[in-house]
Amino acid sequence: MTDCLFCNIAAKEIPAEIVLETERALAFRDINPQAPTHVLVISKAHHENAAALAEADDGLADDLLKACHAVAVQEGVAESGYRVVLNTGPGAGQTVFHVHAHVLGGRSLQWPPG
């Protein structure tokens, strides 16, 4: 999709601070971080949201979650704890309609989230 921000980042047509790349996922720093560690992990293939990713049923959701954990380890928040958030739909706060997980850590994260 040529008009998708995250597809363009995955194609490296738009710059991003990439922290991890696998065959099927790309992780980069959020431009508006909500925690000391705030990294977005996207699938390189376009899927609109977590529901579409789950329906793809090709192991991509597993790859995305493994990439999230690898980011947490690399960023040094795996031991203290981190949160993985997948917003699905505008009512949940999704603003870019390409599946992406937020990996958040480095501070106390309250529950319930805001």
**What positions carry a catalytic annotation?**
100
Sequence-ordered alpha helix ranges (H) in the chain: 5-10, 50-56, 60-75
- 59: nearest Cα among 23, 88, 93, 35: 23
- What residues are paired with 20 via a beta bridge? 27
Largest CA distance in the chain: 39
